[in-house]
Structures are given as C-alpha cells and as structure tokens.
Amino acid sequence: MFIRRVKNYLMDVKHLRKDDVILAAYPKTGSTWVRFMLCNLISLNEWNGKIVDFETLNDTLISFGQGRLTQEWPYRSLPRVVVTHRHYHWPLFRDRKAVLLLRDPRDAMISRYHYEQNKRPEQNPFNGTLLEFMRHPRLGLVSYFRHYQSWKDHVRTVVKYEELKRDPERELQKILDVLEIHPDPAAVRESIQRSSIEKVRLIEDRIGHKRREQSHVEDFKFTRNGRAGQWKEVFTEEELKLYETCRRRYAFRLYGGE
C-alpha cells in the first residue's frame, strides 16, 4: 500500500502541467461541492446535461496523488482543475494558479470527526472524543492551521464555505475568474442548482458512492447536512477554549478573534 501511494504520488508529480489550476482545500471544507459545480458545468456544455454522480465526479476532477494525472483533459469548458488536501509545496505547486477553500475550523473539525469515526474497522477509525480529535497532530486543529498558513500567500483567491452558501453564484464566479473562463450565466446558475446539497444527497441515496461504501460503515452518508455554524450547538467550553488557544498561536483571525 505504501509503495503504491509513493508510486502514484511520483506519477502525478511528473504529469502535473503548468496550466493546471489547483483547488486547495483542507478536508471537509467544501471541495466536493465546488467540484460538483464545475463538473456540472462540463456536463451542461459537453455531456448534454447528464447527471453527475460521485463516480463521474471522481473520474473527471481528479485529486492529486492518485496517479491519474496521466489522463488527457478533453474538455473545452474549463482548464484542468487538480484538487489537493496537501500543504503547499514550492517546487511542486509554484507558478500555478490556485484557489483556496476555507471553512470555519470548528465546523470542519465536526465534519471530519464524523467522517473519521465512521470508517470501517480495517480503515482504523478514530475512536476518541471530539476534544481528543481536535488535539490530534495529523487530523486536528494544528493540521488545519498549518494547511492554511502554507497556502495563504500562494493563491489567486480565497473562497469561504459560508460565503459560498450565502451567495454561491458570486463565489463560484471568483473561481471562474481564476480559471479565466466565461460560461453562460444560465449554465452557471443551473450548475449551482444541480450541485445543491439536497440534489447531491439524492444522487448519493439513489446511485451510491462506491469509494465511500468501500471505506466506511454501511449506513454512512458522505453528504451530511452541510450546515454552517453547527459548532455553536456542539462545542463544549473546553473545546471552545482549545480552539481559541490554537487560533491565537497561529494568528488565525478569519473566524473569530482580534
């Protein structure tokens, strides 16, 4: 498994192109939602509007490190968008246009905690409390803030999940501006409507999500509620205190603070 991951990584390093646009996002900050919007734009322009399910999405807008950047990009609707959860790495991502997605770290922690908890036993699910998860060096708050710090000075624009929910057309346009494309406004609105959490949840219920079915327990749904501000109903005083301590340590001011 380790050798295969290294091989896939090196393969994608070799085939990352100068004109690729990087969609950088910490896990559970909205990258799947944005990918659905972009993939639905392709569908409306080039596939006669066929339904975009998770399998189609993952075969079209590929994540870096899977060893699949060898595939040609046959689409005219937009340049190739490469998704990554990795930190910014100068020799690898330099001189490429990039978009950074952000979500309130408190909501991102809750969403990823749910995701990690529901993995199958052989996938080593996280079995601790939310507070313990937030303290985890690889999964918790520290990893979120370090990811942000690595990318913040190397992107063309930042799109916040909460703003994307408030005004998806405006925020998607920011991404399209980085891609330097000007699709028909009606197609943009339709791609947003097709990518709503309600529509994607129906697609997952009806068609499934093979990759998640292989990695997670039977009743797990990748598409949850997608709410913003859910931390207000979930976090304890101790969890809030930990967040504030960590946020101040990394001088992170985008969600709370000075």
Tell me the torsion sign for CA atoms 241, 246, 249, 253: negative
Q: Model's pTM, two decimal places?
A: 0.93
Report the distance separating Cα 89 and Cα 112, nearest Å: 23
> What's residue 2's pLDDT?
77
> What's residue 130's pLDDT?
97
Question: How many Cβ atoms from other residues are within 10 Å of residue 90's Cβ?
Answer: 9
> What's residue 118's pLDDT?
87
Q: Which domains does the chain have, with CATH numbers?
A: 2-249 (3.40.50.300)
> What's residue 27's pLDDT?
95
> What's residue 258's pLDDT?
44
> What's residue 211's pLDDT?
66
- Torsion, Cα 241 242 243 247, to 10 degrees, reads 100
The backbone torsions φ and ψ at residue 139, rounded to the nearest 5 degrees and listed phi first, read -110, -20
Who's near 118: CB < 8 A, 6+ residues apart? 125, 216, 217, 220
> What's residue 123's pLDDT?
81
pLDDT in tens, 118-173: 888 878 888 999 999 999 999 999 999 999 999 999 999 999 999 999 999 999 99
Q: Letter for the amino acid at 186?
A: A
**What beta strand segments (E) does 103-249 contain?**
157-160
> What's residue 120's pLDDT?
80
> What's residue 76's pLDDT?
94
Who's near 49: CB < 8 A, 6+ residues apart? 43
Report the distance separating Cα 237 and Cα 222, nearest Å: 28
> What's residue 162's pLDDT?
97
Residue 12 CB burial class (10 angstroms; 0-12, 13-18, ≥19): buried
> What's residue 210's pLDDT?
63
pLDDT less than 50: residues of the chain: 258
Outline where 73-159 has alpha helix (H).
Answer: 90-93, 105-117, 130-135, 141-151
